[in-house]
């Protein structure tokens, strides 16, 4: 949907720690011919630090390759190089289906108009600094955070078949919830770091709990004076209600005839 809305200007970057989810996204982009301006990274969203292409490169001429020797981005193909296949074999042999959070981001797709073709990989994929992001970061960031999915009616109904002990382990477990809250705050914090000054960020979950929504927002705001909540003007005509913090929104079965959803929008001052 975001790629469709983007149209013929700009670029779109997708990040997910789970390769199979990102591969499904790649399939849809290709199926509907929407991926020309997109790039997808398998990476930890709490530490991902690669800025938009065309913004962190300065003079572009300095980073355009002369020949493709493996260090230059050629047009994307689904066929993997021998080196990539060997790396994948080693990872499987080691019993590691997903890359550790400390590993480098893996670029598994980029469109022909994403701005990468012909550029040197070492400059495009270099980590950014917080200061660089303020001037050359993303115009908009969506943090669709991992949550307990307790607001999703369809999801909760599955536990009728999975068993209520599974619900206790996957949703109600105190230790898991504590780790999840730290993950949500980490995703929000890092997403905001990658935002340029004046840019906007949306944080959302499909949880009904205050802990995963208002509390995370409150913790974040207390540590980031350059962050300010924005009123979502179109919501004046939406079937939703205000969250526990002014300018945040909540959707629920009673108010909206939908599953539960929380939304908060920030601007970087």
For tokens 């908009």, the residue is 140
Give just the sign of the alpha carbon dihedral 252, 258, 260, 262: negative
DSSP 143: E
Report the distance separating Cα 54 and Cα 59, nearest Å: 9
Do the Cβ atoms of 41 and 13 come closer than 8 Å? yes
236 known member of a binding site: no
Annotated catalytic, 206? yes
Catalytic residue from among 25, 134, 147, 206: 206
3-state secondary structure of 41: strand
Report the distance separating Cα 179 and Cα 188, nearest Å: 14
Instruction: Work out whether strand 261-268 and strand 227-229 pair parallel, antiparallel, or are unpaired.
Output: antiparallel
Dmax (CA) of the chain: 61
Strands (E), 170-260: 195-205, 227-229, 241-242, 249-251
Binding residues: 144
Binding residues for S-adenosyl-L-methionine: 144
Catalytic residues: 206
């Amino acid at each position: 949907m975001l790629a469709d809305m983007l149209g013929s200007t700009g670029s779109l970057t997708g990040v997910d720690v789970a390769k199979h989810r990102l591969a499904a996204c790649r399939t849809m982009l290709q199926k509907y011919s929407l991926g020309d301006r997109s790039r997808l990274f398998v990476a930890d969203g709490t530490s991902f630090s690669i800025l938009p292409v065309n913004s962190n490169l300065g003079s572009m001429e300095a980073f355009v390759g002369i020949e493709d020797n493996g260090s230059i981005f050629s047009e994307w193909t689904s066929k993997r190089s021998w080196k990539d296949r060997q790396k994948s074999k080693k990872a499987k042999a080691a019993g590691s289906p997903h890359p550790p959070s400390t590993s480098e981001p893996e670029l598994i797709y980029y469109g022909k108009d994403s701005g990468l073709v012909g550029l040197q990989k070492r400059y495009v994929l270099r980590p950014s600094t917080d200061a660089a992001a303020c001037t050359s970061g993303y115009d908009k960031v969506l943090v669709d955070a991992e949550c307990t999915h307790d607001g999703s009616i369809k999801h909760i109904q599955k536990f009728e078949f999975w068993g209520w002990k599974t619900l206790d382990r996957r949703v109600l477990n105190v230790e898991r919830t504590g780790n999840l809250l730290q993950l949500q705050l980490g995703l929000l914090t890092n997403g905001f770091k990658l935002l340029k000054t004046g840019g906007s960020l949306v944080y959302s979950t499909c949880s009904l709990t205050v802990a995963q929504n208002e509390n995370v927002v409150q913790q974040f705001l207390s540590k980031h004076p350059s962050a300010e909540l924005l009123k979502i003007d179109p919501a004046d005509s939406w079937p939703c209600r205000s969250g526990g913090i002014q300018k945040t929104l909540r959707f629920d079965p009673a108010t909206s005839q939908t599953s539960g959803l929380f939304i908060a929008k920030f601007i970087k001052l």
